Structure 1
């Protein structure tokens, strides 16, 4: 199973993900052998819904 990253990622500033059975894995592309975050599909769907609703916007500087 292949790691993916956003087409909007800047060079070197990428979060990558993949979908092994029943979970979603995230990793830092600059440290592919480092630790990974693992979420259930339900958790991932809730996160994406929040992103789409604007809940994950960075604060204005």
Structure 2
């Protein structure tokens, strides 16, 4: 992904990131059909992108109750 595109994305952090300076989590940005994910401690390393549907599945599995 080109740096110019990365810099124009609207990055968000979880409201659960809390603690200290609040930079110890990941940030996400929505692309057209993908989700970009980056380390909030070192955003210059570049993002990982995944299909939006796969990211939604990941979130559902993380929120699912454990048995």
TM-score (norm 1): 0.77
Kindly tell me the number of residue pairs found equivalent between the two proteins.
55
- Inter-partner Cα distance in structure 2 for 1:5 and 1:35: 16
Unaligned runs of 5+ in 1: 56-61
Aligned-residue RMSD, C-alpha: 1.5
Deviations for 1:4-61, whole angstroms, at most 9, x for unmatched residues? 0011103221210000111000000111110322110110111011011146xxxxxx
In structure 1, the residue matched to 2:33 is: 22
TM-score (norm 2): 0.71
Comparing both structures, which one devotes a greater share of its residues to helix?
Answer: 2
Please say if 1:49 is aligned against 2:60.
yes
